[in-house]
Amino acid sequence: MRNNYHSANFLLSCPSLKGCPPDMGYEVVFAGRSNAGKSSAINTLTLQKKLAKVSRTPGRTQHLVFFGLDDERRLVDLPGYGYAKVPEAIKKQWQIDMGDYFAQRKCLAGAVLVMDVRRPLMEFDKMMLNWCVQVNLPTQIILTKSDKVKKGAASAALLQVERATKAFPYVQVSLFSSLKKQGLSKLSSRLNDFFAYVD
């Protein structure tokens, strides 16, 4: 079953890997810096305004949040990383947990890396990308908030990220705007590819 993202429903929220669902089925993770538009992208994809919590306060998502598509497939909203105002010890533990998640989670089918088109490929973006590359995880980078910059600037950012990732065969890049729905069909299509082998 494809294109059923609108049927996504909240499953659970957990503060650590110990609370994750059993390592079965297939998961696609959404990861990005705090305030990059990750939750908005999930809501746009699922056609639900309040499925993923959106906040003006960076770093509101402190837990791993799981959304079910059907009995086998899940979307996962990872904690926002970067400049979230949380204690340094929590940030360090987050890095350990996320590294373990990417290295050990066998049900991972793909990743969506969310980057603000105005500030792509920052330190934590590169760290997340490296985790995906190390485990050969198919990855879609979406450059969000493309409606906030001129077309030329958006195209330049897209080219910059494409050049930086051209050596990685499983990584693709596209522009995205939750407001204008730009890039939505591309994102949906790539998720279909991630989940294709379970049809």
Retrieve residue 85's tokens.
């105002």
- Is pTM beyond 0.95? Reply is no
Give me the pLDDT at residue 86, please.
67
Average pLDDT, the chain: 88
Retrieve residue 63's tokens.
């837990």
What is the percent of the chain where pLDDT is above 90?
66
pLDDT tens digit sequence for 72-125: 999 999 887 765 566 777 777 778 888 889 889 999 999 999 999 999 999 889
User: What are the structural domains of the chain?
Assistant: 5-198 (3.40.50.300)
CA distance 56 to 34: 10
State the average pLDDT over residues 41-62.
76
Report yes or no: 118 and 155 within 8 Å, Cβ to Cβ. Answer: no
H-only helix segments in 105-150: 123-134
